[in-house]
Structure 1
Amino acid sequence: MRLISINVLTTGMVIGRTIWNEAGHPLLQKNVVVSDSIIERLKQLGIQYLYIEDEISNGIEIEETVSHAKRMKAVKQITESFDKVKGLNSYSASIILDQQSKVIGNLVDDLLNSVTKDEDLLTILTDTLIYDEYIYQHSFQVTLYSLAIAKELGYTYGDLKTIGMGALLHDVGKMAIPTEILLKPSKLTDEEYETMKKHARFGFDILRNLHTVSLLVAHCAFQHHERLDGSGYPRGLVNDEIHPYAKIIAVADVFDAVTSNRVYRKKMLPHQGIKIIDSANGTLFDSRVVEALKRCIVHYPNGTIVLLSDGRRGVVAKQNSENSALPHVRIFEENNKLLKSTYLISLAVETNVFIEKVETDYIVNIE
């Protein structure tokens, strides 16, 4: 299967991967043949990319680090825990979260097992996400990214558990933000943005009073918007004033934000999100954390069409666990002509060739 933009989806194409709605139910099943009405519906839902089956990508499979069933179970648990504290003052919210701490801890353990069970690169493919539930999906994904980065940096299991708790709860303070600001479908005013920024302090106030959770978890919530150069909030901390755990969550938070659909912004592909993070390497974000992200996250998911620097075109067929930016590519086109038979290359071996462009709008030339 291969990844394409909704802009080039046409009648007769075959869906390669089930698309799920926000409730966890299949919206469009794998192997369904696309019709005009399906295309219109997907556009209405804001779907930007999807997978199709075709000859040039035959046999290429995409497997996420966490299964759909486990994802939906986790997001449901996060939703239930967060909703219990919505609108409460920090004292009352702390009492409720203390009661929920075992559930949250078990959830982190489950996700931690998914990340540490093998040496595969982390692959998370978000399907259609309803905007009202963004905070819950976001908390789930930031936890996985944070755990993967921390694992890559060599943290102990105990450290990973604390980082996972901090990541999962980093945005809990948003439950104290007025809904009309939290879910506003357009750019916030300066006053609204100042209110939104208070979620870091709100989260800290809730989490620091938990008896069942490390105080470091509270500092993860407090500091995940701080930046190395002091331009972050709420306190404008710099460099070593920011806890290492919060530095990890800061990178995971921004990476997920730019690679997820939002009502006011379309999502980027993983390699684009990594480029955004890397542009602030050492200025806003800790270099060790950024480099760990680049090593442990899939840059070009399987099924991605890429144009190489020598003019050849191919589809990413397999990941390279030694260097996530240099996957194995199935070459199917040379000099803008389809080959009678494809062949596989490794960009780690062919070092004189690099990925020049990702082409989700590519249309097969059958001439």
Structure 2
Amino acid sequence: MRLVSVAACRPGMKLGKSIYNEDGRTLLSENAELTEKILERLNTYGIKYIYIQDSRTDDIVIEDILSDETRAMAMGLIRSTFRQLMGVSGKRKLAGALHLEKTFSQLLNAVIDDLSNHKEAMIMLMNMNASDYYLYQHSLNVCVYSTLLGMANGYGRDEIQALSLGALLHDIGKTQINQKVLNKPGKLTDAEYKEVQRHAELGYYMLKDEPNIPLISAHCAYQHHERLDGSGYPRGIQGGEIHEYAKLIGLVDVFDAMTSHRVYRPAMLPHQAIESIYTGSGTLYSKELIELFRDKIAFYPLGLSVRLSTGEQGVVVDINSSFPQRPVVRILQDAEGTDLTVPHEIDLSKKLSVMITDVDVLSSN
């Protein structure tokens, strides 16, 4: 299968990997044939990249690190809980009545158990979702990414539990923000921006007195927009004043936001997002955490079409875990754009003079 932008898709192509709705259930099944109407709907939903079937890459299999059952449980619980919190007065009281720790403890155990079976997995795009449901999917993505990084950093089970819970609920304060402001397609006014910034403090106060929720999980909500140089919010704290979990979640939060389609801008691919994040190394984000993240990110996801500096075009078929920014590419077209009768593969970790110069370029056979 290949990862292709919806803009490059044509009617008659077949879906290579299912797309899920806000409840984590199937929106469009694997093997579904794409039509003009379906492609229009995908654009309407804000879905920008999908996997399609291609006989030249039918050996590429992308395994989900979360089971279908865990994904469905996660999206259902996040959606139902967050919706109960939206637009209701007496928020802190309501949050307590929902027993958030009890609500999410079974889910977090399922997520941690699923990820424990894929500790060495590279972080792949998880954003085959509709932009209307960004808050729910984003909360799950940040939880999954943060949990994987916590495991890679050697955290114990109790530490992982607190980190995962803080990551899952880091944006819970957004349930108390005017949703029209939160999803505004245009530039926010100064007053609107200040309103959105309130979500960090609101989230902290919603969580800090919750039964059985570690205080550090509440601080993840409070501090995930703080930055090393003090330029973040809500308190402008610096460096060592920011808990390591919050630093990690803040980094992951930015990455997932960049690689998700939003109402005000299209999604970036991972290599573009990580390059942008690197500009804040040592000033906004911890250099050590960026390097940890870099080593776990699939810069160029499996199935992505790429052009090389040689002019040849192909598809990413394997990721070098020790050198993720230089994957193995199956060459399908020569420099003149002619399909090869016998494709061959180039391991960019061994061909250091060859670079990826463009993505999403290959036409379908």
Do both share a fold (TM > 0.5)?
Answer: yes
Match of 2:213 in 1: 213
SS of residue in 2 equivalent to 1:198? helix
Q: How far did residue 253 of structure 1 move?
A: 0.6
In terms of mean alpha carbon deviation, does 30-39 or 298-307 score higher? 30-39
C-alpha spacing 1:75/1:159, structure 2 compared with 1 (3 Å): same
Report 1:195-274 matches (<5 A).
195-274=195-274
Q: How far did residue 102 of structure 1 move?
A: 1.9
Alpha-carbon displacement from aligned partner over 1:295-324 (angstroms, at most 9, x marks no partner): 112211111011122332221112222222
Residue segments in structure 2 that go unaligned for 5+ positions in a row: none
TM-score of the superposed pair, with normalisation by structure 1: 0.92
* Counterpart-to-counterpart distance in 1, 2:23 and 2:82: 17
SS of residue in 2 equivalent to 1:211? coil
Match of 1:113 in 2: 113
Q: How far did residue 172 of structure 1 move?
A: 1.1
* Counterpart-to-counterpart distance in 1, 2:41 and 2:84: 34
Residue segments in structure 1 that go unaligned for 5+ positions in a row: none
* Counterpart-to-counterpart distance in 2, 1:128 and 1:211: 32
C-alpha spacing 1:122/1:206, structure 2 compared with 1 (3 Å): same
* Counterpart-to-counterpart distance in 2, 1:155 and 1:324: 23
Q: Is 1:349 aligned with 2:350?
A: yes
Q: How far did residue 23 of structure 1 move?
A: 4.3
SS of residue in 2 equivalent to 1:344? strand
In terms of mean alpha carbon deviation, does 284-293 or 117-126 score higher? 117-126
Alpha-carbon displacement from aligned partner over 1:78-132 (angstroms, at most 9, x marks no partner): 22222333334354044225x231221222222122222232212243223241x
Residue type of the alignment partner of 2:22: E
Report 1:60-71 matches (<5 A).
60-71=60-71
Match of 1:21 in 2: 21
In terms of mean alpha carbon deviation, does 271-280 or 158-167 score higher? 271-280
- Calculate percent identity across the aligned residue pairs: 38
The question of whether the paired residues in 2 share the 8 Å contact of 1:301 and 1:316 is answered with yes
Q: How far did residue 24 of structure 1 move?
A: 4.1
C-alpha spacing 1:192/1:331, structure 2 compared with 1 (3 Å): same
Residue type of the alignment partner of 1:263: V
* Counterpart-to-counterpart distance in 2, 1:38 and 1:288: 43
Q: How far did residue 142 of structure 1 move?
A: 0.5
C-alpha spacing 1:93/1:314, structure 2 compared with 1 (3 Å): same
Match of 1:57 in 2: 57
* Counterpart-to-counterpart distance in 2, 1:103 and 1:277: 34
In terms of mean alpha carbon deviation, does 72-81 or 245-254 score higher? 72-81
C-alpha spacing 1:81/1:43, structure 2 compared with 1 (3 Å): closer
The question of whether the paired residues in 2 share the 8 Å contact of 1:318 and 1:328 is answered with yes
SS of residue in 2 equivalent to 1:51? strand
Report 1:58-207 matches (<5 A).
58-86=58-86, 87-97=88-98, 99-118=99-118, 119-131=120-132, 133-207=133-207
In terms of mean alpha carbon deviation, does 31-40 or 329-338 score higher? 31-40
Q: How far did residue 163 of structure 1 move?
A: 0.7
Alpha-carbon displacement from aligned partner over 1:26-54 (angstroms, at most 9, x marks no partner): 44332233333333333333332222222
Residue type of the alignment partner of 1:155: Y
The question of whether the paired residues in 2 share the 8 Å contact of 1:90 and 1:202 is answered with no
* Counterpart-to-counterpart distance in 2, 1:161 and 1:27: 30
Residue type of the alignment partner of 1:292: L
Residue type of the alignment partner of 2:156: T
* Counterpart-to-counterpart distance in 2, 1:327 and 1:356: 13
Q: How far did residue 189 of structure 1 move?
A: 1.3
The question of whether the paired residues in 1 share the 8 Å contact of 2:65 and 2:115 is answered with yes
* Counterpart-to-counterpart distance in 2, 1:181 and 1:47: 22
Match of 1:45 in 2: 45
Q: How far did residue 199 of structure 1 move?
A: 1.0
In terms of mean alpha carbon deviation, does 35-44 or 344-353 score higher? 35-44
TM-score of the superposed pair, with normalisation by structure 2: 0.92
SS of residue in 1 equivalent to 2:111? helix
The question of whether the paired residues in 2 share the 8 Å contact of 1:85 and 1:96 is answered with no
Alpha-carbon displacement from aligned partner over 1:343-366 (angstroms, at most 9, x marks no partner): 2232222233222221x14325x7
The question of whether the paired residues in 1 share the 8 Å contact of 2:227 and 2:237 is answered with yes
Residue type of the alignment partner of 1:108: L
In terms of mean alpha carbon deviation, does 83-92 or 345-354 score higher? 83-92
The question of whether the paired residues in 1 share the 8 Å contact of 2:4 and 2:52 is answered with yes
SS of residue in 2 equivalent to 1:275? helix
The question of whether the paired residues in 2 share the 8 Å contact of 1:90 and 1:205 is answered with no
Alpha-carbon displacement from aligned partner over 1:188-211 (angstroms, at most 9, x marks no partner): 211011111111111111111123
